[in-house]
Amino acid sequence: MADEKDVPDELTIQALGKLSEALETTERARGHLYEMHQLTGTADFQLDEAVSLFMQAGHEKIAQRIQQELIGRNVTPGHWTFQLIEEYDDGYWSEFRALEKAARDELAGGRRHLHEAGLKERRRTHGRPGHEAR
């Protein structure tokens, strides 16, 4: 790891910070994919109850249509939501993480959040409990 005195120049810190911010955004997107996955699965199971209720109410044609056309349906051609997550994780997200880490390793000795570390140092009250550097 690079020595503390080997801090990159401010423009490099800004670039690494923007790259990190973009990665954090993809982390949030990934979380939304998992939420979509769970909500879609929940809705699919809720359809079972709707089918049952339609059947009990004597609406067999509607119940059968839901059963045959919607329950278990792919959300995109050939894919359930878990497959979308797997493709995102194995492709875009993994590559993004690897490139962000490579940039940090090359330019900042692997250190993360250099901008925030600088903010902490400038904003903390030196010598005050709860404001320690580390």
The 10s digit of each residue's pLDDT in 93-121 is: 999 999 999 999 999 999 998 888 888 88
**d(C-alpha 110, C-alpha 42), whole Å:** 41
Q: Helix crossing, 10-56 with 60-69: angle to 10°?
A: 150
Residue 2 has pLDDT above 80, yes or no: no
**Rounded to two decimals, what is the model's pTM?**
0.79
CB 115, CB 15: distance < 8 Å: no
**Mean pLDDT value across residues 46-68:** 98
Q: Would you state the pLDDT for residue 4?
A: 54
